[in-house]
Structure 1
Amino acid sequence: MDSLNNLLTIQILAVLVALVGEIVTSELLMTAAIVMFFVALTAMFVQMTTALLVGLEQSDGRALAY
């Protein structure tokens, strides 16, 4: 859960950096903040999906079969 908090913190910082980039009209800062936000968002969804699948497999006792 600690790593999810870290990813959420990175997302919040990215939004703040984007706001600062907007204030100082820095295209490079805005681009970096947007990329950082979406990378952290993707990592968070991957981690949450993995935790869900592992939890389902552990609670079921057998491998997931589709």
Structure 2
Amino acid sequence: MKTLKTAKCGETVVVQKLDGEGALRRRIMDMGITKGTSIYVRKVAPLGDPVEITVRGYELSIRKGDAENILVE
């Protein structure tokens, strides 16, 4: 299974699972990223950090470290 970090620009993926514990997991869920949610990868910064995504109709920038904890299909 791949992570959001490895998703390519212009790709639409679906969240399968959230890794991480406690506050990190809670913060990701508070951003609207939950199991079954579609995420469109809009841009990836030249050095890979941050990743700009569209989730639930709004734009969001997420750190590479956080994107590693989001397993997608």
TM-score by length of 1: 0.22
Of structures 1 and 2, the larger Rg is shown by 1
Which TM-score applies when normalising by structure 2? 0.21
